[in-house]
Amino acid sequence: MSDPNPTDVDPAERASVAERAAKAGSDVGLKWFRERLDVDTKTGPTDYVTKADRGSQERIVEVIRDDYPDDVIVAEEGTARKTLPAEGTAWLVDPIDGTFEFVRGLPLWAVSVACVRDGEPVAAVNALPALDELYVAANAAATTYSFVDGNAATVDGTPASVSERDDAETFAAGIIDWHDFDADEPSTGLVRGFAERFGEVRRLGSSQTTLTYVASGALDVAVSTNPNPWNNVAGAHLIARAGGTVTDAEGRPWKPGAEYLVASNGTAHDVVLETVGNHRP
C-alpha cells in the first residue's frame, strides 16, 4: 500500500502501522534484554550499539515496507538515511532509544516510530517494552481512529495528558543530553539552571522516554539539545497531542532539526524558556 499522494495522509492508518512496527521492534528488544550481548560503540565509549538495535530496526522497517514500500525511512542505525526530507511522507525510527540503559539492564529504553508529512508529525508511537507501556499519538484529524477512541494521545489505550502543575518549584524536569561538563557543552549550564529553578531534575538516559513522560504527566519539563529527528519527533508529537507545549529555545513552534527542543506542560512555559535562555552557552 504505497502512498501515491503524500499530501493526503490518513493519520489513523499511519498510527496503526506505527503501532504494529513498534510492537515488532519491541519483541526483538525484549528477546535480548538482560541477556548476554556483544556490545559495539559508535561515537564514544558509552555510545553503545548491539544486535538488538540492528535487529529491532530491521523488523520495524520490514513492517513499514509491507504497507508503504516507497516511503522514505530515516533511522538511527547502520547505513539508513539520516536526514528528514523537507517535503513528502517519511518515517522516523529509533529501534532502541537508550541503548546504554538497555545494555545495563535498566528498563528505561524506548522503541520509537513516527510518521511525518512535509516535516510535520502525523502519527507517533513510543513503546517502553520493559515497562509494558505503549504511547500513541495521531494528529487532530484522526478523530475516528478507534485505537485512540477520539483522544489525541493515549497510554495503553487510555487518554494521556500532561500535568496540571503550575508552580515551577514543584516541577520535575528532564535533562535529555548530558555529555560532560565542558564549559561549551550546552547541557552543562542547563543542569545547574534547572536544579536551581525547578523542584527536581532527572536524567533518564533515553530521549524518547523523557519526552513521553512529559506527555503522561510524570515529568513537567524536558529540554533536548540533540537535533537528530529520531530522538525527538515522536515524543514531541505525543506532548503536543497530550496538551503540552513544544518550542525551540526562542519560543517558536518546534521543528525537527532545531538546535533546542523545549517541552513543558504549558502552564509556565515562559519560565522554562527563561531558564533555558539564562543558561545557554
Domains of the chain by range and CATH? 11-159 (3.30.540.10), 168-278 (3.40.190.80)
The confidence score (pLDDT) of residue 24 equals: 98
Calculate ∠ Cα 70-256-88, nearest 5°: 25
Cα–Cα distances in angstroms (integers) from residue 198 to residues 132, 186, 190, 239, 266, in the given order: 29, 18, 11, 19, 15
Q: What is the pTM of this model?
A: 0.90
Write b or e for each residue in 75-99: b if 16 or more Cβ atoms lie within 10 A of its Cβ, otherwise e: bbbeeeeeebeeeebbbbbbbbbbb
Query: Which tens digit of pLDDT belongs to each residue from 170-223?
Result: 999 999 876 554 545 556 778 889 999 999 999 999 999 999 999 999 999 999
* Average pLDDT of the residues in 135-159: 64
Proportion of the chain above pLDDT 90, given as a percent: 73
pLDDT band at 227 (very low <50, low <70, confident <90, very high): confident
Average pLDDT of every residue of the chain: 88
Higher pLDDT, 187 or 149: 187
Q: Which of 70-79, 132-141, 251-260, 265-274 has the lowest mean pLDDT?
A: 132-141
